């Protein structure tokens, strides 16, 4: 037993060196969605979109109403679809974006989200390239961190759209939750994307499920992911994504619930990734330093305390273990 322990010492030392050699992340934007119930999210961070005729043959109108876009008073943003007419549409829903308020080139985007159940719902956490002379969509680029068909409780998808590969894009991938996991409708899950000058990587919880390299994209068109993008959350109803299907009346009201969103840039920071700061209010930094950590592909690394046990029971009830940085 002693010999086995001695053999492990070089390995443990190597892991410590590797972990501390990794590039860190510096937080550049966050929203924990704390606030009074039935109020709008922070107007210094978010625009509430109003659009009575959204694209993709969608059946909802996006409206500015606390019935459709509001904080719930428990630390979440709720985007709610209702079966009520607005203009020529038979449903209303909510959509927010950070255009003109926060935009960034490269980094890590992550959000903890619970999705609504029901055929015909189309929730999304995504990004659009700012129009800095690139000519609008799709020439400015689009990155879909997560989309879901509301009839598929265990399946999400990620995609990229640009000139020559927009609409029914070949740059797309579906992710299936592991057997026995709580569904996207029953629990919060962490959806994330990491973006560099030559790659975009997509994650669900601790799983890296899709990597897009610049060479994959340039087979179809230009790589247009070298300028600022802004962030969007929305809940669409119907539309082309799932064959124009509409939800039954009993599925309303339907809610996308966002627990937090964090955005980082590459740096030297030693930060907690995938963990809402509000969950640790009142705890010292020393306590946080003792947490076991993971890198973003889910491979375990040593914590500062030397532990190797996955962190559990920290996120919203029923959520998967969270991904942490060193």
Convert the pLDDT of each residue in 46-100 to its tens digit: 999 999 999 999 999 999 999 999 999 999 999 999 999 999 999 999 999 999 9
User: 142 an active-site residue?
Assistant: yes
pLDDT of residue 277: 41
Q: Which of 49, 78, 110, 147 is catalytic?
A: 147
What CA–CA distance (Å, rounded) separates 203 from 193?
6
Convert the pLDDT of each residue in 196-210 to its tens digit: 999 999 999 979 999
What CA–CA distance (Å, rounded) separates 162 from 169?
9
pLDDT of residue 269: 61
Average pLDDT over residues 147-164: 98
Q: Which of 58, 60, 78, 142 is catalytic?
A: 142
Average pLDDT over residues 154-164: 98
Query: Do the Cβ atoms of 78 and 39 come closer than 8 Å?
Result: no
pTM score, whole prediction: 0.81
The pairing of beta strand 91-93 with beta strand 60-62: parallel
**What are the residue ranges spanned by the domains of the chain?**
26-266
Convert the pLDDT of each residue in 89-139 to its tens digit: 999 999 999 999 999 999 999 999 999 999 999 999 999 999 888 999 999
What CA–CA distance (Å, rounded) separates 263 from 192?
10
* 88, two tokens: 């020529």
pLDDT of residue 50: 98
The CATH fold of domain 26-266: Jelly Rolls (2.60.120)
For residues 230 and 20, the model is more confident at 230
User: 110 an active-site residue?
Assistant: no
Nearest to 115 by CA among 148, 69, 157, 141: 148
């Amino acid at each position: 037993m002693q010999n086995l322990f001695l053999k492990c010492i070089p390995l443990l030392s190597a892991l410590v060196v590797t972990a501390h050699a990794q590039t860190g992340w510096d937080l550049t934007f966050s929203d924990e969605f704390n606030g009074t119930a039935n109020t709008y999210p922070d107007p210094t961070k978010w625009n509430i979109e109003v659009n009575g005729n959204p694209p993709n043959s969608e059946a909802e109108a996006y409206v500015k109403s606390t019935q459709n876009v509001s904080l719930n008073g428990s630390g979440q943003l709720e985007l709610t679809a209702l079966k009520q007419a607005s203009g020529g549409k038979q449903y209303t829903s909510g959509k927010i974006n950070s255009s003109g308020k926060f935009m960034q080139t490269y980094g890590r985007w992550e959000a903890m989200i619970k999705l609504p159940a029901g055929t015909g719902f189309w929730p999304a956490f995504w990004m659009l390239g700012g129009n800095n002379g690139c000519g609008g969509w799709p020439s400015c680029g689009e990155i879909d961190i997560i989309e879901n068909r509301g009839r598929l409780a265990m399946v999400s998808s990620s995609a990229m759209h640009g000139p020559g590969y927009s609409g029914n894009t070949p740059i797309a991938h579906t992710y299936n939750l592991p057997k026995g996991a709580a569904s996207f409708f029953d629990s919060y899950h962490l959806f994330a994307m990491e973006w560099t000058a030559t790659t975009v990587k997509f994650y669900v919880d601790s799983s890296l499920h899709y990597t897009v390299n610049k060479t994959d994209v340039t087979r179809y068109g230009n790589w247009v992911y070298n300028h600022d993008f802004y962030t969007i959350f929305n809940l669409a109803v119907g539309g082309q994504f799932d064959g124009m299907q509409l939800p039954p009346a009993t599925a309303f009201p339907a809610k996308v619930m966002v627990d937090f969103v964090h955005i980082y840039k590459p740096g030297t920071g030693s930060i907690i990734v995938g963990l809402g700061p509000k969950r640790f209010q009142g705890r010292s930094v020393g306590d946080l330093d003792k947490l076991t950590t993971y890198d973003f592909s889910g491979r375990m690394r040593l914590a500062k305390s030397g532990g190797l046990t996955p962190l559990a029971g920290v996120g919203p009830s029923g959520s998967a273990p969270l991904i942490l940085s060193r």
